[in-house]
Amino acid sequence: MATTSLRAIKTALRKGLRTRLAQVTHQSIQRQSALVTTQLLALPQYEQATNVCVYINMDAEIITRAIIEDIFAKQKRCFIPRCTPTTMDMVLLRDMADYDTLPRNKWNIPEPLPTDVRDNVFDYGGPHLIIMPGLAFDTNKNRLGHGKGYYDKYIKRCLEYSEQQGNQPPYLVALALNEQIVSEPLPCNEFDEKPHQIISSERVLQ
């Protein structure tokens, strides 16, 4: 499929999905988030990971605060996204007090400022586990993001780093509301990275 037509299809899909997700109540998101968090924290890949990269959620996404709290309780290292217009890095979050004082970006997501000097996950040997969001997922584990390509490009960087260092590549887990899993195949190309596993409150795709 031509890049321009694929982009147009994805744009139309995103518009419909955002309308659909706007109908999901906060109570439903909280309930689903609690169930998804329980499943994630029980994963062997989570238990074994020291360097955990995790997104900070937008409104219509699985809430990650309890996951971040558990990362600190288990004395793991927590890394969160910091974005420029074209790239994303995962930088160290120090503790929950640090989390609670982060400024909010234009999407109303807590994010460290560009001028805030922080360690990068690659300073600690790279990520062991990446917990990622998405706008939608299909049953073949294809992922539709918000259109910036942040995670696709970042995962490629991580895979290249792991190969150069001779390390195990990071395990990729996506968290999804039930309303974000669609039955129709999502459009994708060779640049789209699939998670190893998608967890929703009703099912796990792996």
Residue 143 is labelled as binding a ligand: yes
pLDDT digits (tens, 9 = 90+) for 11-58: 888 898 999 999 999 999 999 999 999 999 999 999 999 999 999 999
Which among 12-21, 104-113, 184-193 has the top mean pLDDT? Answer: 104-113
Residue 145 is labelled as binding a ligand: yes
Residue 149 is labelled as binding a ligand: yes
Residue 56 is labelled as binding a ligand: yes
- Cβ of 59: how many Cβ atoms within 10 Å? 13
Residue 38 is labelled as binding a ligand: no
Residue 148 is labelled as binding a ligand: yes
Q: What percent of the chain has pLDDT over 90?
A: 83
Residue 161 is labelled as binding a ligand: no
Residue 46 is labelled as binding a ligand: no
The 3-state DSSP class for residue 92 equals: strand
pLDDT digits (tens, 9 = 90+) for 74-86: 999 999 999 999 9
CATH code assigned at 168: 3.40.50.10420
Residue 193 is labelled as binding a ligand: no
Residue 134 is labelled as binding a ligand: no
Note down the domain range covering 119. 3-205
Torsion (CA) 36, 60, 189, 156 in degrees, nearest 10: -70
Give yes or no for a contact between 36 and 178, defined as CB atoms under 8 angstroms apart: no
- Please count the structural domains in the chain: 1
pLDDT digits (tens, 9 = 90+) for 145-180: 887 889 999 999 999 999 999 999 999 999 999 999
Token digits of residue 203: 């099912």
